[in-house]
Chain A
Amino acid sequence: MGLQDLRDQICIVGVGDTQQGSVPTKTGDELAIDAARAALQDCGLEKDDIDGLFVQPSYGRQGDYLKVGLMLGLNPRVGGAVEASGATGCYMIQHAALLLHAGMANYVLLVYGTNQKTNRNRFGGALLEEHAPYGAFNPSLPFAFAFRRHMHLYGTTEEQLATIAINQRHNSLLNPKAVQKTPISLDDYMNARYIVAPLRMFDYCYVTDGGHAFVLTTADRAKDLRKPPVYIRGMGRQEAFRAYETPDLVMQSFQQERVAKMVFPMADMTTKDIQALYVQDAYSPAILAAIENYGFCPKGEGGRWIQGGRIAIDGELPINANGGQLSETYMVGWQNTCDAVRQLRGECGPRQIKNVERIMCTYTGGLREHAGALILRR
């Protein structure tokens, strides 16, 4: 028995989201409940069909498993809180898949809601207590380290990095849900202020309020539901604690390469089979790390490889066709998975990727210690 036994056995059958951006009238838990309702409606299940529940905590004591469970009026057989920062949504999908496959649950609901924009959460904490005396605040520092190192080792330029923010902003203009709607030119990017150099304002996600939810079930049950199922073809994860201060790990090479060795064999696929990529992009260098470590391009070539429209919606490997977290909304990766599901169902209107059947979603969490990936197919 191995991961391959899970190939195509579990499906995402419902996705739900709320208004994104600034939602001052609702708490994060209310948004989580709204997203859960939308996900149930999406797949046509009743609340009481749900027998598994996972909740991602958010800042400001939101997303408590017990409290959200009470508010949903659920009595699930299995579930819990999972906390792995930007990899949580991915990890929950994997936990749910294992529980469904084992027969511990029939329909699992995953929810996340936050009003961290309204709460004015600034992500200004120290990396760890021991780093505060040195002024090492905000989780972008490891990404600044990583990109500086990439520039040093491979000659990658800030103009090349700009391609990511510019491309994603272009995509967000096609996405009615997206929060950021002003186009960015190369000049705009280069003239923007540094936050933690070499990273500029446009390399950062924008903190938003909102909620997302997914419903998963087994492939046999999925056939009877409202929307076409999206199959989990491959999955993998790897932790690498203290990754942010170990040179080999700053670009996430170890952790993401390990995930690659799980997710591609499980899917019986290679990078050539992947038609679009969603990267959990709290900061833009996450995309360079992902394309190199998962093998879409050679090590060190990422900055050059993303040029010339290759990652555009009509390019060879569209990346974050929704605008990603730099431009659509910051839902710690949930919105990327949601968009991947909608792409595979053909629901994406002007940002729809043509004939897309196989999408990979990758996730980075915390100070780069968490890495996970999913390969989804229709």
Chain B
Amino acid sequence: MADYTKPLPVIEPWNAPYWQAAKRHEFVAQKCRTCGYTHLPPGPACTNCLSNDQDWIQLSGKGTIDSYGVYHQLWHPGFTDDLPYNVALIELAEGPQIISQVVGCANAELTCGAAVEVTFDDVTSDVTLPKFRLIRS
């Protein structure tokens, strides 16, 4: 893992709990105590009502692929061995959408609307990235 060459997340005080949870292989989001809105990615305030009184809740990790793109062009040397790789827009069961990757399958298996669930990629000793895999029926 010492030679991990892809970009790493920038961890700030307000998003640290998200990354700490990921490291424990838990998938969490912020839920506003004032208005009840659940949102990702993490932010310093509720994007619905601006309250900073927010809770961290466990997500089911289930979602669907809204859309995806497959990178054939390299823009960062860390992804050289991954081409062609996918980046997907995932709609989570609890509502928020996030950009991540679908792993453990060929890009040709991806479809809009496919069911996915979270999986955890321990990319360095400090960082774990929530990614997704297809739920095969």
Interface residues of A (CB under 8 A from B): 122, 124-127, 129-138, 140-141, 144-146, 148-149, 152-153, 193-199, 245-247, 250
Known: A132-B7, A148-B112, A197-B70. A137 touches B76 (CB 8 A): yes
B89, A145: Cβ atoms closer than 8 Å: yes
B10 lies within 8 A of chain A by Cβ: yes
* A198-B68 Cα distance, complex, nearest whole Å: 9
B44 within 8 A of partner (CB): no
Report the Cα distance A291→B71, complex, angstroms: 27
Known: A129-B9, A148-B68. 5 other contacts (CB 8 A): A132-B9, A146-B67, A152-B112, A197-B84, A250-B67
Q: Which residues of A contact B36 (CB under 8 A)?
A: none
A247 engages B84 (CB within 8 Å):
no
With contacts A122-B75, A245-B89, A247-B89 taken as known, whether A134 is within 8 angstroms of B97 at the C-beta atoms is no
Give the Cβ gap from A279 to chain B, nearest Cβ, in Å: 21
Contact call B66/A145, Cβ cutoff below 8 A: yes
- How many inter-chain residue pairs (CB < 8 Å) link A and B? 99
A145-B68 contact given A152-B113, A245-B98, CB 8 Å threshold? yes
Report the bound CA distance from A126 to B79 in whole Å: 13
Q: Which residue of A lies closest to B41 (CB)?
A: A130
Task: Please give, as numbers and ranges, the residues of chain B lying within 8 Å of A140 by CB-CB distance.
Answer: 69
Question: Does B57 touch A at the CB level, under 8 Å?
Answer: no
- Interfacial chain B residues near A245, Cβ < 8 Å: 89, 97-99
Name A151's closest neighbour in chain B (CB-CB).
B112
Are B97 and A141 in contact, with the CB atoms below 8 A?
A: no
Contacts of A193 in B (CB 8 A): 72
- The chain A residue with its CB closest to the CB of B131 is A134
Residues from chain A with Cβ under 8 Å of B33 in the complex: none
- Within B118-137, which residues are at the interface with A (CB < 8 Å)? 123, 127, 129, 131
Across-interface contacts of A148 in B (CB, < 8 A) = 67-69, 112
B110 to chain A, nearest CB (A): 9
Given A133-B9, A133-B129, the answer on whether A145 and B97 have CB atoms closer than 8 Å is no
